[in-house]
Structure 1
Amino acid sequence: MADMAEFTRAELAALLSRADGVIDRARSLTPLIDAPALTPSTRGTVELPEGIGWLIPPGAVDWPADLYAYAELERLPGAREQLRRWVAATAELPALREKARHAAPGLLRRIFGGTGLAQARQAAGQLQGRLSEPEVVDVVQAAQQTQARGVYLQPGVHGTPDHFIAAARAGFEQAVGHRGLHFTRHDADQQSRVLSRARVLQHDPHSEPALRAGAERLLTALTDERARILLRQLPVDALRTATSQRLRFAGLETIGVATVADVLDLPVGRLTQVRGIGVQTARRLRAAAETLRREAVATHSTGIGDTATAAATALVRVLAQFDRINTLDELQRARRRRILQYSAEVPAGGGIWDVALTAETADWRQFTDDIAWADAHREILEPARPVSVGEQTWADYLSRPAHYQGLLATLLDLEVEGGEDLAADTLERIRSLRLDRTHLTELHLRGYQSFGARFSLVQEKVVLGDEMGLGKTVQALAVAAHLAAEGRRHALVVCPASVITNWVRESRRFTDLPVYRAHGPEKEEAVAAWSDTGGICVLTYDGARTMQIPIPDLVVVDEAHMIKNPAAGRTIAVRALIDTASHAVLLTGTPLENRVEDFATLISFVTPDLISAGMSGMAAVDFRVRIAPAYLRRNQVDVLDELPEKLEQLDWIDLSPADERHYAGAVRQGSFMAMRRAAMTTPDVVPAKLERIREIVAEAEESGRKVLIFTYFLDVLDVLAADLGERVVGCLSGAVNPAARQELIDALSTAPAGSVLLAQITAGGTGLNIQSASVVIIVEPQVKPSVEAQAIARAHRMGQTSTVLVHRLIGDDTVDERMLEMLVGKAQLFDAFARPSESAQVHDAVDITEGQLAEAIIAAERERLDYNP
């Protein structure tokens, strides 16, 4: 019988070795019979931003040892059941192998072996007969051998079968929890070069990342300082608002506790020295104070403020350094910041990497484009040169705070653009447009301002409805500068006469384009010169109606609500200009919700296809979505993360001929006071400054605001009271007693939007809290800057919930302008004003005597007007 065959020692050793191999294979394959899907470890991969996929460097994935074997069992019909039966059949092999190991005995054992030898030989024969393996085992072994040569996610010279590649991909998808990934390959050599340079830049102490970290640290310190100031102003009984538990305050004054800050400064043991305050009550007081402190910190503003604290001055110096090295536009900066982010997340190393993408999206192209762009523009990742800033940094900040706030928002990436209602493809076109700044000068555009300009360029004809104080003018100038760089050089600005001077000055300040003032006796010549050379031509609505205007490339319509009546002559004239121009920007700060019908009219001027019958009856939200392609509005609370406590601007006023004659008479008389108020007291006409005040008050009413108007002169107050009529709730002067003053302030708080409180600046500028007003008009410059600062502080103080808008009215080429020039010049001579010292916080440090100022200004104006003997 075969089962009783004799074995030599060599034959038996071979049989036993073969049995060991089968037993081991059976044991190793047993887990595959009922195993769930095998999941690799992907800890070495890099998830790309925006959830677009994963970078997979070589060796980043730890693959399960039997990944391919499992795949074969899944692929072949009945393979798993066949393996199950074979494994079950091998269950008795270990016992047979144990018996069979004595089947080749020595001489004595062969002679005296008896039944034991016979059983061993029988077991060896049975073992030999059962060691055959089914085909499925060979397949599994082949799969294991294939995996030993490497796991691949892409076909290649390695020759891995497609179904194994599919198994690896499925395993990766299982590991990252995303099905349907697209797998590709990526040459990481260029990436390695770029990111190694980015890592060097990331740690450069002079570059933007280091300045950003410093700014964040200093802003936190500034927030803490402000929180302490607030807590020092809160009385101790304010702690009741922070807890529902009972607190005791009686007797705290005996240990010097009057404010919330005092409670924080004292240990619990000190608080318990007050009779009636035990440990538990003291701890409640401290806990409530800490709650208020956290709330104060959490509600911080990123406004730098006007107090030269250590943190504020250090922050301004960091921003000045950033200003010196900041040469990138918003698209370049966004690219570099993404590359710096990649450098912190993507491991070093080149070669060919696998990539798994959620889809073949623009986001992956953005990653590869960013890398290629940075490799081609090596200067973008060069370490910054060390820069130093002068001792005048704080003074420079005070002279242009909006510029520094813009730098802070840019550095900390706090910009909010707006435009959420726009279609995705339109947003992509706007964000991918690089704004040409060739013709812009001294202008740091905020992120939302750049977006507004690019929105206007992409959509071509739009209504820009940003809230007051957000810089609609500079956005329009950025559009003009971009078009001029493309060869479309004729920009036309149509505006009220009261802001002609402002437009001319802003255009000359922020662009290098020729600027023409088409208003006054030489307006025809100005238009002709503009037609020949291009540039920016500024004219009034009447000028647009009465003059022959060549076809412009860009029309900017300021205060566009003035053309809401389609039948008006000026509307017809401006509409014709809009129709012929390739681009148009209509500027208005009037809130959309108040006048849906008027806005429909304006939208019809720029994109008539968006308007249909019955739109005036639509809900404001639906209307806004409908007109989103042509209308962009941002509110301060939406786009100004710092929520500046005050936005100050100079309103340059172009005097009328009657104003000029009246002013010249005051100069001829040599009367400084008459010169200062001449632009408000011209007889028999509406003075130019008064026209501007009317506009500001009307705009304030549209925006739900109330107005505080300051002047030095009683007769100017009389002019204002007579003209503004029922809008005026009262007039604060030295003749009004304190009780009556408070009554007038209370009346303003309950008065409707557009109401006005008049005040003589020497009487109403101190000792009052007038938070209900959020628009401040200073009719004429004051001899002492401290007087203006105190007046503004009446509305710009704790408890004010709205941003305070400050308008300083400056007559063009008058005593107002001379005062500004001389006061600024004098201020630069005071070292205290330029340094972070106690004296720099006192506005009177830059005051000069009225006699000196009056004498110098009268002489200058007499010389200008040729009135000197």
Structure 2
Amino acid sequence: MSPMAEFTRDELAGLLREADGVLDRAHSLSPLLDAARPAPALHGVAPLPDAAGWLIPPGAVHWPERLYAHAELDRLPESRERIRSYLATAAVVGTLRAKAQHAAPGFFGRLFGGPGLAAARQSATDLRSRLEAPDFQALDRDVRGHLSVAGAATQLQTRGVHLQAGSHGTPEHLIAAARGAFEDAVEHQGLIFTQYDATRQAEVLARARALRHDPNSEPALRLGAERLLTALTAERAQILLRQLPVDALRTATSERLRFTGLDTIGVNTVADVLASPPGMLTQVHGIGPQTARRLRAAAETLRREAVATHTTGIGDTPTAAATGLVRVLAHFDRINDLDEIQRARRRRILACSEWVPAAPGLWDVALTGETARWAQFTDDIAWADAHREILEPAGSISVGEQTWDDYLSRPAHYQALLATLLDLEVEGGDDLTADVLDRIRSLRLDQTHLTDLHLRGYQSFGARFALVQEKVVLGDDMGLGKTVQALAAAAHLAAQGQRRTLVVCPASVVTNWERESRRFTDLPVYRAHGGDREEAVAAWADTGGICVITYDGARTTGVPAPDLLVVDEAHMIKNPSAARTIAVRALIDAASHVLLLTGTPLENRVAEFATLVGFVAPQLITNGMSSMSAADFRVRIAPAYLRRNQADVLDELPEKLEQLDWIDLTPADESHYAATVRAGSFMAMRRAAMTTPDAVPAKLERIREIIGDAEEAGRRVLIFTYFLDVLDVLEADLGARVVGRLSGAVPPAVRQSLIDTLGSAPAGSVLLAQITAGGTGLNIQSASVVILVEPQLKPSIEAQAIARAHRMGQTSNVMVHRLIGDDTVDERMLDMLAGKTRLFDAYARPSESARVHDAVDVTEGQIAEAIIAAERERLGYAV
């Protein structure tokens, strides 16, 4: 302890002022030691899409008050340690100062001071010793310097915090401090900071906001469509609930429910339960309040499930919601003049207008590594500024009263509009590399020569895939519009000066290609089939356009090299040594662009599938591909093969209800069938259940029943069989119900007219078809009941046949009946063909699967031999 000294009042006053200065400096220093520095508050900072960064308009960040002061202190050596030492000393100084303030009393204070005066004088003496100590004097000088630097930094911060160097003269280390603080606020380090003049952006986004609020604009129509689709779903749920009996409530709860007596108050369905107040339900004897609550809770569960299980299909019933939705889509059709790239740009801009502030001026931008997204944003703004019409108000449009009839005449067009409006499009191509995807997505499809065609997103993608990759296999599921994708590619090439498109297809679909080409393009169309095919080919070679020729025509006619070669039902050239394959292969090699179309690229063997790919991309084929795993195989061929399945891209497709109709043969049927087995005739065995002599076969009886049900339900029927004599039986028995018969003997033009006749025929009408003639390439959406009289040797043939009706443009649920004779060749075929379906699913569909080898395949001859042997053994005949 220092020797105690006496102090005059002036001396004490000076000492206390000096101590107060220390305490004041300590008070100023204390906030600079905060362990948790406050982060900037973000007000109006807009995140860029896909986590690409942040837009920072002026004034959008509220910076911490001492941001620059902290940054300056961080640069001074040991500044934090010196400040902590100073604060520790200041705490002692504060204590001494409080005791020392009475160390210089007046006369009576000195006279009667006693021990208190002595203590005060000792505190004053100690205080002076601490303040005058050389170490503290040095520490005090350092701290005064720190405070001076911090004060200057704080003064500089009042003129603004900057993230970029400029005329403001902010030092680089303070700019770095601000950037670091922003990174802490958004929890993302390593950002790239730049500046951006938002003046043009502010004007573009102002127009986008105005368009968003325009009642005739796409955003408003989209909201209307979503509302009406929700209402349509509710309507369908209500219809379903009206069809469910009350005992269906058992499936929705584990509680015990009582239904007896509900019919006496008119409650017969789940919908009735929902419509009945609890007090009404309790009027039934045995139903109390608790049971009534349970009944209504179970009914509500079923209602929620019914609403949750919905599609975007508009359907075929003109309810208020359905007709309203169609009118919205007709309106959208009138104002929609953008291609997919333009539409995507405008939608991105409209989305930005919801969350990007409107302030003009110089903005800061903080970017993550996703600089491409920032480039897209600025490019979109520049594009919208250069194309002002894109954001112009749509204006009022009058939609006619016949929109529902128009929808029924072209439902696929309206469903495509709905998918576009609600942004439900799926592209596919998941196995493609990023650079290929970028090239496909950046290609603007020239639709100058397309007419009356609104491409779905996946269809546009398919056409662009073919154009970018040049020679490909398009293996889309049946019914997804491979034809229009090919026509879109042809129209694009024609607009670029590559005018000659050659379509090679089976004779059965020549007319369909000719009609679709004329309907959806304005290009010249030449039918090179029949006696005038040489002249048609010559005219096409001279003028360009689309030439449709059969496989035989391509083999026997001198056809010049096309710009685009389209090969329909391309699985027909899977045999490399066949004459038609050789002819088509020459055209493939000569054409600059090739599109092989097939919904069934793999029917029997993986090697055949690989052969098709090898025609267009031989560099992808290697030895041993047949033994590759399914996943590796698909990745290998992805650059040349694109497939999308119905379930992936057609959410609106009506339900397909498939059932096996097991048929008990009559005694006469059994006797006839046994005779065919005894004779060992596989084809006779397959059709025996329909050709029983002098009796009505059981299968025919079932067909009559199905047609009767279809008539009552307002449906038309499509019946497939492999056998001509079965067609004879059906035609003779069904009489006037039959509007026509499709077989290999019917010319293609007549086939289309029969399909047109079915479209206007009454309910219960029937179109008969030999499955090898009517099962491919035709659109028969007017039928919604399909009967397969007997199983086929290739599952793909059945799938193709069903897809004639269950395809884009179908508005009704499709009922599929497979007639299976019990304990007959039909049942044996079902078992033995299951492996073929698994093979296709593994290699040709984009789904993961276990390794499947060619050894799984069973040839048609092997199937026949095995089944004949099994049936002869079952019926007791010698093998």
Please tell me whether the aligned partners of residues 475 and 642 of structure 2 are also in contact (alpha carbons under 8 angstroms): yes
Please tell me whether the aligned partners of residues 7 and 104 of structure 2 are also in contact (alpha carbons under 8 angstroms): no
Match of 1:39 in 2: 39
> How many Å separate the matches in 1 of 2:10 and 2:317?
103
2:598 aligned to which of 578, 588, 597: 588
> How many Å separate the matches in 2 of 1:179 and 1:805?
54
Match of 1:268 in 2: 278
Matched, 1:256 2:266: yes
Match of 2:90 in 1: 90
Match of 2:383 in 1: 373
Q: Report the CA distance shift for 1:7/1:524 in structure 2 as closer, same or farther (over 3 A).
A: farther
> Which aligned pairs between 1:402-481 and structure 2 lie closer than 5 A?
402-481=412-491
Please tell me whether the aligned partners of residues 518 and 539 of structure 1 are also in contact (alpha carbons under 8 angstroms): yes
The 10-residue stretch of structure 1 (599-608 or 105-114) with the greater mean CA deviation from structure 2: 105-114
1:330 aligned to which of 316, 334, 340: 340
Q: Report the CA distance shift for 1:782/1:401 in structure 2 as closer, same or farther (over 3 A).
A: closer
Match of 2:553 in 1: 543
> How many Å separate the matches in 2 of 1:396 and 1:138?
81
Deviation at 1:251, TM superposition (A): 2.0
2:785 aligned to which of 777, 795, 798: 795
Please tell me whether the aligned partners of residues 758 and 766 of structure 2 are also in contact (alpha carbons under 8 angstroms): no
Aligned-partner residue type, residue 596 of structure 2:
L
Please tell me whether the aligned partners of residues 460 and 584 of structure 1 are also in contact (alpha carbons under 8 angstroms): yes
Deviation at 1:600, TM superposition (A): 0.3
Aligned-partner residue type, residue 588 of structure 1:
T
Q: Report the CA distance shift for 1:51/1:755 in structure 2 as closer, same or farther (over 3 A).
A: farther
The 10-residue stretch of structure 1 (344-353 or 99-108) with the greater mean CA deviation from structure 2: 99-108
> How many Å separate the matches in 2 of 1:704 and 1:763?
26
> How many Å separate the matches in 1 of 2:223 and 2:404?
20
Match of 1:709 in 2: none
Match of 1:813 in 2: none
Match of 1:517 in 2: 527
Match of 1:619 in 2: 629
Aligned-partner residue type, residue 379 of structure 1:
E
Matched, 1:172 2:148: no
> How many Å separate the matches in 2 of 1:109 and 1:269?
93
Deviation at 1:291, TM superposition (A): 1.1
Deviation at 1:125, TM superposition (A): 5.9
Please tell me whether the aligned partners of residues 517 and 539 of structure 1 are also in contact (alpha carbons under 8 angstroms): yes
**SS of match in other structure, 2:546:** strand
Please tell me whether the aligned partners of residues 645 and 796 of structure 1 are also in contact (alpha carbons under 8 angstroms): no
Q: Report the CA distance shift for 1:329/1:318 in structure 2 as closer, same or farther (over 3 A).
A: same
Matched, 1:26 2:18: no
Q: 1:491-523 deviations in whole A, cap 9, x for unaligned? A: 111111111111111111111111111111111
Q: Report the CA distance shift for 1:194/1:320 in structure 2 as closer, same or farther (over 3 A).
A: same
Match of 2:853 in 1: none
Please tell me whether the aligned partners of residues 571 and 602 of structure 2 are also in contact (alpha carbons under 8 angstroms): no
Match of 2:811 in 1: none
Match of 1:308 in 2: 318
Please tell me whether the aligned partners of residues 561 and 587 of structure 2 are also in contact (alpha carbons under 8 angstroms): yes
> Which aligned pairs between 1:402-801 and structure 2 lie closer than 5 A?
402-590=412-600, 592=602, 595-645=605-655, 726=686, 730=690, 741-742=701-702, 781-782=757-758, 785-787=761-763, 795=785
Gaps spanning 5+ residues in structure 2: where?
A: 662-681, 707-718, 739-751, 768-781, 788-798, 807-879
Deviation at 1:358, TM superposition (A): 1.1
Deviation at 1:593, TM superposition (A): 8.1
Q: 1:522-568 deviations in whole A, cap 9, x for unaligned? A: 11111111111111111111111111111111100000001000001
Q: 1:613-647 deviations in whole A, cap 9, x for unaligned? A: 11112232221111111001111110012123589
> How many Å separate the matches in 2 of 1:303 and 1:155?
57
Q: 1:781-801 deviations in whole A, cap 9, x for unaligned? A: 25963326899776389xxx9
Match of 2:854 in 1: none
**SS of match in other structure, 1:248:** coil
Please tell me whether the aligned partners of residues 469 and 640 of structure 2 are also in contact (alpha carbons under 8 angstroms): yes
> How many Å separate the matches in 1 of 2:9 and 2:689?
123
Q: 1:147-185 deviations in whole A, cap 9, x for unaligned? A: 333222222222222222222222222221212111111
Gaps spanning 5+ residues in structure 1: where?
A: 648-702, 707-721, 747-751, 767-775, 809-869
Match of 2:62 in 1: 62
Q: Report the CA distance shift for 1:170/1:2 in structure 2 as closer, same or farther (over 3 A).
A: farther
> How many Å separate the matches in 2 of 1:478 and 1:528?
24
Please tell me whether the aligned partners of residues 201 and 381 of structure 1 are also in contact (alpha carbons under 8 angstroms): yes
Deviation at 1:49, TM superposition (A): 1.0
Deviation at 1:276, TM superposition (A): 2.1
> How many Å separate the matches in 2 of 1:423 and 1:619?
20
Please tell me whether the aligned partners of residues 54 and 366 of structure 2 are also in contact (alpha carbons under 8 angstroms): yes
> How many Å separate the matches in 2 of 1:249 and 1:339?
57
Q: Report the CA distance shift for 1:36/1:182 in structure 2 as closer, same or farther (over 3 A).
A: same
Percent sequence identity is: 66
1:243 aligned to which of 246, 249, 253: 253
**Count of aligned pairs between the two proteins:** 719
Matched, 1:52 2:62: no
Deviation at 1:20, TM superposition (A): 4.7
Q: Report the CA distance shift for 1:62/1:636 in structure 2 as closer, same or farther (over 3 A).
A: same
Please tell me whether the aligned partners of residues 646 and 805 of structure 1 are also in contact (alpha carbons under 8 angstroms): no
Match of 1:78 in 2: 78
Please tell me whether the aligned partners of residues 303 and 645 of structure 1 are also in contact (alpha carbons under 8 angstroms): no
Aligned-partner residue type, residue 48 of structure 1:
L
Q: Report the CA distance shift for 1:737/1:542 in structure 2 as closer, same or farther (over 3 A).
A: closer
TM-score by length of 1: 0.75
Please tell me whether the aligned partners of residues 419 and 632 of structure 1 are also in contact (alpha carbons under 8 angstroms): yes
Deviation at 1:598, TM superposition (A): 1.6
Matched, 1:288 2:317: no
Matched, 1:399 2:400: no
Q: Report the CA distance shift for 1:266/1:358 in structure 2 as closer, same or farther (over 3 A).
A: same
Please tell me whether the aligned partners of residues 206 and 386 of structure 1 are also in contact (alpha carbons under 8 angstroms): yes
Deviation at 1:95, TM superposition (A): 4.7
Q: Report the CA distance shift for 1:101/1:788 in structure 2 as closer, same or farther (over 3 A).
A: farther
> How many Å separate the matches in 1 of 2:159 and 2:754?
83
> How many Å separate the matches in 2 of 1:416 and 1:367?
23
Match of 1:685 in 2: none
Deviation at 1:25, TM superposition (A): 3.6
**SS of match in other structure, 1:290:** helix
Aligned-partner residue type, residue 69 of structure 2:
A
What's the RMSD between the two structures over aligned residues? 4.0
Q: Report the CA distance shift for 1:755/1:534 in structure 2 as closer, same or farther (over 3 A).
A: closer
Aligned-partner residue type, residue 741 of structure 1:
E
> How many Å separate the matches in 1 of 2:286 and 2:659?
49
Please tell me whether the aligned partners of residues 216 and 394 of structure 2 are also in contact (alpha carbons under 8 angstroms): yes
Please tell me whether the aligned partners of residues 464 and 586 of structure 1 are also in contact (alpha carbons under 8 angstroms): yes
**SS of match in other structure, 2:596:** strand
Q: Report the CA distance shift for 1:547/1:593 in structure 2 as closer, same or farther (over 3 A).
A: closer
Match of 1:858 in 2: none
2:158 aligned to which of 137, 148, 173: 148
Match of 2:358 in 1: 348
Aligned-partner residue type, residue 786 of structure 1:
P
Q: Report the CA distance shift for 1:763/1:41 in structure 2 as closer, same or farther (over 3 A).
A: farther
> How many Å separate the matches in 2 of 1:592 and 1:159?
70
